[in-house]
Structure 1
Amino acid sequence: MKLNSVIAREGYTWIQQGIWLFKQNPLGFFMLVFIYVFVAQLAVLVPILGVFAVLILTPTLSVGFLTACRQAIVKEPLRPMVYLIALRSGPIIRKRILQLGLIYTILILVLSIALSALVDFEALLPLVTSDQPLTAETLHQIYELLAIGGLLYIPVAMLMWFSPILIAWTNMPLAQALFSSFIACWRNRGAFLVYIAIWIVVLIIIPMAIGAGLNALNLEQVASFIVAPISMAGLTVMHCSFYATWKACFVEDAAPSYFA
């Protein structure tokens, strides 16, 4: 296993490869993403425990989806039980992947505390949950919250991006996996900036623009039928493109290239 460096425009290539991978089994990938979203929404209905369960199992689910990407390439069928493959990979990997989930949970908790110290949630929440239209000031506060939260999440994302796969697929120790993931993201930061910028446009800016346009035409009910499928498709392709980032940033010895 060797760490690789790529040029910035490779971030766009990762998305192209994600689209190619999605086309190998679109219904199977839609099923896996839908199951994840549905189960996560059910889990968070359980006070406190549900949220912690989702966070702790996030690395496990990540390994499952990327394993499904491997299966799709070789034309194997995709099944929901693939999400549990990391927990079935032996006691050492299972222990490490759950420890990684615990670390992720702690990091998110610390991030949430830091964010609450910077943003006045008590003042913002009533404005967001009220039936009144959002004012320009409220929208500014929401965007500010998203920007601050995104910046604070960057180092967490860098630690967690590849570490589940490094643990599950290369049997790497926990600390080394976290360090290697961070270094891989930092070394390829140009490509990741391009990659993330494109997904921000696809998953946030375009749906918001479509929704705002339809609302201006008094077609609010139509907006959900248009925006939801676009967002779901984008989210699924994005998950598929995670595999492309792995193949680009880490080179397995004598491994064949899966992408043209």
Structure 2
Amino acid sequence: MKLNSVAPKEGYTWIRQGIWLFKQNPLGFLMLVFMYIFAAQLAVIVPVIGVFAVLLLTPTLSAGFMTACRQAIQKERISPMVYLIALRSSALVRKRILQLGLVYAALILLMSFALSLLVDFELLIPLMTSDKAITPEALRQIYLVLFFGGLLYVPIAMLMWFSPVLIAWADMSVAQALFSSCLACWTNKAAFFLYLSIWSVILIAIPLTVGMIFDAIDLGQAASFIIAPLSMAGLTVMHCSFYATWKACFTEEEVLAS
């Protein structure tokens, strides 16, 4: 497995490649993303255990989606069972991918604890449990959550970006995968910055702008019928573009059977 260094402009190319990949099997990819979102929402209903299960299985599901991308390129049918491909692999891969899930869950727990020290969540709880109007202070806390949450998640994202695939496809240990993933992201940080900036505009800025425009003309409820499907499609294309980042940052000297 060889680590590559790419030009900053590649961040834009990854998105174009993600769009191309999505076009190879749009229904299959939309099905996988919808399944993940639906399962995650159901799991959250179960206190503590449900959230832990989602975090534990996130690397497994990530490896499964990347495998689906490879299958789409090879014109193979995408099945929901692709999500379990890492767990159905060798005992060693299964053990490592679940260990990686534990690491991810622990990192998210630490991030949540650190965030609780920086933000007053007591002001936000009423917003989630009632229909009360948002106060200026509560709005400030929401912005703080988004800012500090994003800042704290960056190192976690760097560690986890390629780790599931490096374990599933490159036969790396958990420690090796985490280190290699972080190194790859840091080596290509300029390309990733452009890549994530574009996705931030597509998935956050544009929907917010559309929502504000519809609110201004008293059509706020109608906005969801436009924003929801577009956001779903954008989120799916973004997941497809993850495969493009993998192919750009790493050269597989030997492609292992999935």
Q: Using structure 2 for the length normalisation, give the TM-score.
A: 0.96
Instruction: Find the counterpart in structure 1 of residue 210 from structure 2.
Output: 210
Instruction: Find the counterpart in structure 2 of residue 134 from structure 1.
Output: 134
Counterpart Cα distance in 1 of 2:182 and 2:9: 20
1:1-260 aligned within 5 A: 1-127=1-127, 129-253=129-253
Counterpart Cα distance in 1 of 2:42 and 2:128: 23
Give the secondary-structure state (helix, strand or coil) at the position aligned to 2:76: coil
Counterpart Cα distance in 2 of 1:154 and 1:205: 19
Instruction: Find the counterpart in structure 2 of residue 258 from structure 1.
Output: none
Aligned AA (2:191)? A
Per-residue deviation, 1:138: 3.1
Describe the shift of the 1:254–1:178 C-alpha distance in structure 2 as closer, same or farther (beyond 3 A).
Answer: closer
Give the secondary-structure state (helix, strand or coil) at the position aligned to 2:87: helix
Per-residue deviation, 1:54: 0.3
Counterpart Cα distance in 1 of 2:139 and 2:80: 38
Counterpart Cα distance in 2 of 1:5 and 1:219: 47
Q: Which runs of 5+ in 2 are unaligned?
A: none
Aligned AA (2:206)? I
Aligned AA (1:162)? F
Counterpart Cα distance in 2 of 1:20 and 1:134: 41
Identity %: 69
The answer to whether the 8 A contact 1:128-1:134 is kept is no
The answer to whether the 8 A contact 2:97-2:168 is kept is yes
Per-residue deviation, 1:135: 4.1
Counterpart Cα distance in 1 of 2:112 and 2:16: 33
Between 130-139 and 228-237, the greater mean CA deviation after superposition:
130-139
Per-residue deviation, 1:142: 1.1
Aligned AA (1:252)? E
Per-residue deviation, 1:136: 4.3
Counterpart Cα distance in 2 of 1:230 and 1:87: 32
The answer to whether the 8 A contact 2:123-2:138 is kept is no
Per-residue deviation, 1:246: 0.2
Counterpart Cα distance in 2 of 1:141 and 1:128: 13
Aligned AA (1:138)? A
Counterpart Cα distance in 1 of 2:95 and 2:131: 46
Aligned AA (2:208)? M
Q: Using structure 1 for the length normalisation, give the TM-score.
A: 0.95
RMSD across aligned positions (CA): 1.3
Counterpart Cα distance in 2 of 1:10 and 1:243: 13
Per-residue deviation, 1:133: 3.5
User: How many residues get paired?
Assistant: 255
Per-residue deviation, 1:198: 0.6
